[in-house]
Amino acid sequence: MDVSIIIINYRCADLIINCLRSVYAFTTGVTFEVIVVDNDPEQGAGAQIRALFPDVRWLDMDYNAGFGRANNAGMALAQGRYFLLLNADTLLVDNVIGRCMNRMDQQQDVAACGALQHYPDLSPMPFYTSFNDFRKTFFILPPNRPFQALLDWLFPEPRYADPEQHDWLVGAFVFVRRDVVAQVGGFDEDFFMYGEDVEWSGRLGKVGKLCYFNDCKFIHLENKNPFRRTHISWINRFSTQMQISNFGWIRKQYGVGAYLVLILHYLSMIPVVFLWKMVINVKKHGNPFAELRTQVIYTKKTRVILRYFWKTLFRQKGFYKIKPSENIDLLTAS
């Protein structure tokens, strides 16, 4: 068996059906199996998928295990020499699986590879090219040249001899060697959603190169879920669940100091964002309290981050999934 394709289902049967149709339509020269891990068997519409694709191997989870745990369960069943972790909300446009396999067969120093994400109109989707590129977005600083220069100095971009090599691979499409997973382990199961692909890439990259092959692409539809961002703004760049995962990743990969700096930064910015907006409100409306919704949301998200402070600081084992009452994005969506 060449490739085991692992897809997570969470109430997205229609997306998986379209994804699998594209897989079967375009994949040639590869022996493959499909494993679907269902994070919600009662409402996931698994019967609909299995009726159309009876050869799919199916695994029901007992709870919503999130991205990392569900993929780990799928990889434990997989028989292929390569694993392809593929999002349900993706579509293939050509034989990208065969191309990735051939490139990996030829380049034994590559531990895992990804394909470039595209929007449905086939225009390129931007992505973070490095850990430091990602880390710079965590800081809530005015988007002007001096602050950007400071962040660029603090978090310089890595330099690789191979232009296709990068720090990490987006979890929507990760093509990885089976023996590499056996060596470094699967996803960190403390992560519920977001950040787990970044953390995993850090470990994968220690045993081989991580590459985006420029001639490999796919469509990413970015399925809606209750943990995505709402009221996206300069100070609310990430959803609450994203923030908890991101801070956990920083603590694990970069240590206590980096984590504490980030916590102090978010706390110190609360009065700053309020004062800044109040000055704008006075100039615009004459009332300093006219428009503060975004600043209130930022404060509420920071409070949730603090609820996980000690647990994250001491890296306590657990499942870092926020509670419904902590999902500030959903609670403030209306």
Examine the domain organization and report whether 305 and 173 are in the same domain. Answer: no
> 10 Å Cβ neighbour count for 105?
12
Amino acid 109: pLDDT: 97
pLDDT higher than 80, residue 44: no
For residues 247 and 276, state if they share a domain: yes
Signed CA dihedral, 241, 244, 247, 252: sign only: negative
What does the pLDDT look like over 114-124, one tens digit per residue?
Answer: 999 999 999 99
- What is the domain-level CATH number for residue 26? 3.90.550.10
Is the pLDDT at 143 greater than 90? The verdict is: no
Give me the pLDDT at residue 217, please. Answer: 97
pTM metric for this prediction: 0.94
Higher pLDDT, 334 or 115: 115
* Residue 216: predicted pLDDT: 96
Examine the pLDDT at 230 and tell me if it is beyond 60: no
Domain count of the fold of the chain = 2
Q: Does one domain contain both 192 and 263?
A: no
Domain shared by 182 and 300, yes or no: no
For 318-333, the DSSP string reads S-B---GGG-HHHHT-
Has residue 333 got a pLDDT over 80? no
Query: Average pLDDT of 61-68?
Result: 96
223 pLDDT band (50/70/90 cuts)? low
**Do 265 and 150 meet the contact criterion of CB atoms below 8 Å apart?**
no
Q: Does 253 lie in the same domain as 198?
A: no
Domain that holds residue 216: 3-128+168-220
* pLDDT (mean) for 54-73: 96
Q: Are residues 212 and 252 in the same domain?
A: no
